[in-house]
Amino acid sequence: MNIISVKDYQEMSKKASEIVVKTVKELEKPVLGLATGSTPEGLYQCLIENNKDKQVSFQNVTTFNLDEYVGLAANDPNSYRYFMDEKLFNHIDISKENTFVPNGVAAKLEEECASYEELIRSHGSIDLQILGIGLNGHIGFNEPGTPFTSRTHIVELDESTRSANARFFASMDEVPTQAITTGIETIMESKKIVLLVSGENKADAIARLVNGEVSEDFPASILQKHQDVTIIADEAALSKLN
């Protein structure tokens, strides 16, 4: 694993945007894997600026998001589709029909998982996957205990994940209990992975990811086995790494 140490959130976001821009420029039809949450927001802001400055175009880019809450429609402000439209897609020159997020209100959720997986496969594979990490080591919404062989599936969200995400909802009761997420194996098939980590509250997680044993109890630990992972982390996040 390649670890890039940066000063703060701003620098993490800028570094990540440079890698995304380079990938998009190099490839004819780039396929990006994207995450939601607080961590990549700064990256998306940088990409919007790079697009406005004409440094990069997203016209040939296809994106697949990692996950979506079950029960939240695209027009729900807490859905991940809404987040992506608001934070990135509405502000860049990407074709919306080339942006994919699992459908959390599909009538048949199992079928939605299978067809999402198939859709990724029909685009070859993900060239560059952006990841954040949960306090319990989740990547996507693959909670501890998820088999490393998992593909896109429905998950019961951990209480710790629900409370970490409750800040976006009016009350804890409104936080969905289930989500659709791409699986660990789906993520591991990405050609390149960039994991972003910022803040002291992620310091234990990043230390365990880098130095801990590879175990399904800590999903992100599997990244030790990927041949092209770059972690971009700020000083606070790296404070417990020796």
Tell the smallest beta-carbon distance from residue 133 to ligand F6R (Å): 6
CB atoms within 10 A of CB 148: 16
Strands 229-234 and 62-65: unpaired
Q: What is the DSSP letter of 210?
A: H
Among 138, 151, 153, 208, binds ligand F6R (CB under 6 A): 138
Binding mask 105-134 for ligand F6R (x = CB under 6 A): ---------------------------xxx
- 180 near ligand F6R, judged by CB under 6 A: no
**57 or 230: whose CB is closer to ligand F6R?**
230
Residue 35 lies near ligand F6R (rule: CB under 6 A): yes
Cα 65 to chain centroid, rounded: 7
Q: Give, rounded to a whole angstrom, the gap between the first and last alpha carbons of the chain.
A: 15
Q: Which two tokens stand for residue 213?
A: 């044993």
Using CB under 6 A as the binding rule, whether residue 152 contacts ligand F6R is answered as no
Question: Per DSSP, which regions of 152-240 are E strands?
Answer: 153-156, 178-181, 192-197, 229-234
Active-site residue, 136 included:
yes
With CB under 6 A as the contact rule, the residue among 5, 10, 38, 230 that binds ligand F6R is 38
CB 196 within 8 A of CB 16: yes
Positions in the binding site for ligand F6R (CB under 6 A): 35-39, 66-67, 132-134, 138-140
Give catalytic residue positions: 67, 136, 138, 143
